Structure 1
Amino acid sequence: MIVMTIDQRRSRQGEDKVEALINQANNTVTHVRPFQRTAGDEVQAVFDDSMEAIHLAVMMAASGDWSVGLGYGEVELPLPKETRAGRGPAFVFAREAVERAKNTNAHLAVAGPTEEASRLEAELQLTACIVSKRRATAWEAGTLADQGLTQQQIATRLGITQQAVSSRLSAALWFEANRMMEEATKSLSKQLRKLGE
């Protein structure tokens, strides 16, 4: 299982964004146990889908508003209905990871029972740093690319040239960052399968 712990950054200097995160995340991602406030400005959820967990972790960290800890490993079963009542190594790893994430430029850390955790962390930290530097125009083009539109179709939709679309996607390292997340997903899924054997 994958446990994600997210802590709001600079929460004492601004509004509490936790409830908005809980509502949005629980309505848009597939989870085993939903996001729930655990204490103060911190939330936690349980996943079994590596892709969902990795994509969300990178996006949350890249926003600059959150420190994200991904922990993977075993959990005590059956899981309780309340996310915050969960126990097991994956919960401990998530706690360890979120504390380390607070002291990184990427605001993201990964912990688990295998050596793969260190490589996954490095990949996802780099990806989060890349994503954090994207401009709104890159998001506009990249979101359409992710929906399967060609660069020419995107150009027509946005009223710009195909060359401008290509430039936006290239500057944002859109496809490279997506590939990094895909490879990280494969790696984490493999680790979870091994742990389940």
Structure 2
Amino acid sequence: MFAIHARYRGRAVRRAELVARSAEALSTLEGVGTFEVLGVEDICALVDTPEAIADTTMALLSAGEWAVGIGIVPTSVAAPKLASAQAKKLAGAALGTRARIGTVKVKVKASRAGKEDADRWASDIAASFLLLATLLAKRSPEGREATSMMRRGYNQNEAAAELGITKQAMSQRLQAAGWQAETAGWQLAVNLIRRAEDSAVAQAELQS
């Protein structure tokens, strides 16, 4: 079971409206549950898969105004309702009270015996998103536009036509924006999240 807790750290005057709109938009992503708005700046939702966690986190990092907490709870040894509540609580605890823009913090539920492994997985997942956030922060507006099209499922020809540029220009924008590095980093984050959950499940089963 996975959960994301995000906090708006930007400077919008009408931040409550922006946060509500963001929650609604993020809730349309595949594999993402309905984002609940918590107060003025916070939103939280359950997420079905590692891929959906990565997609949602990337969307938040791309916006450049959010801090993100991720909670991972093994579901094979806990009732779904309990696991859901625990995942949300962990995501909020991961975020903490002094979260900064572009940070991603992770907590993985584990027994006392498995805490060291869980902390290591959490640190590795956070590190993978730190690298992605650094890449995103260095992009030009044209690079962000081009990679956004690719992330939405366009191929290069379709994206170039949509943007009114040549295929060669599209390729150059993607190269300058580090698109290949992003896709590799995304896959790394997905793999780490999946392995963290598998490790947590294995540890929980040993203790049961």
Shorter-chain TM band: 0.7 to 0.9
Q: Does 1:111 align with 2:107?
A: yes
Q: Does 1:5 align with 2:1?
A: no
Which segments of structure 1 move beyond 6 Å, counting only runs of 4 or more? none
- Alignment length (residue pairs): 189
Alignment partner of 2:155 out of 143, 149, 159: 149
CA RMSD of aligned residues (A): 2.8
Matched with 2:65 is 65
Q: Distance in 2 between matches of 1:183 and 1:101?
A: 27
Call closer, same or farther: CA 1:38–1:153 in 2, change over 3 Å: closer
What is the correspondence of 1:80-159 to structure 2 with a 5 Å cutoff?
87-88=85-86, 90-99=87-96, 102-103=99-100, 106-113=102-109, 114=118, 115-146=120-151, 147=153, 149-150=155-156, 154-155=159-160, 157-159=162-164
Instruction: Please give the secondary structure, in 2, of the residue aligned with 1:30.
Output: coil
12-21 or 60-69: bigger deviation:
12-21
Q: Report deviation, 1:125.
A: 1.3
Q: Deviations over 1:108-159 (max 9, x none)?
A: 2222241111111011011022123333322333344453524x56545544
Identity %: 21
What is the correspondence of 1:12-23 to structure 2 with a 5 Å cutoff?
13-16=13-16, 17-23=18-24
49-58 or 10-19: bigger deviation:
10-19
When the two structures are superposed, what TM-score results if normalisation uses the length of structure 1?
0.79
Q: Deviations over 1:26-81 (max 9, x none)?
A: 223323x421123332111111311111121122133122211112124763327x
Alignment partner of 2:194 out of 176, 184, 189: 189
Structure 1 runs not aligned, ≥5 long = 81-85
Call closer, same or farther: CA 1:100–1:126 in 2, change over 3 Å: farther
Structure 2 runs not aligned, ≥5 long = 110-117, 203-208
Matched with 2:181 is 176
Q: Distance in 2 between matches of 1:100 and 1:182?
A: 29
118-127 or 6-15: bigger deviation:
6-15
Query: Do the aligned partners of 2:108 and 2:196 also contact (CA within 8 Å) in 1?
Result: no
Query: Do the aligned partners of 2:108 and 2:200 also contact (CA within 8 Å) in 1?
Result: no
Q: In the alignment, residue 127 of structure 2 is paired with which amino acid?
A: A
Query: Do the aligned partners of 1:63 and 1:132 also contact (CA within 8 Å) in 2?
Result: no
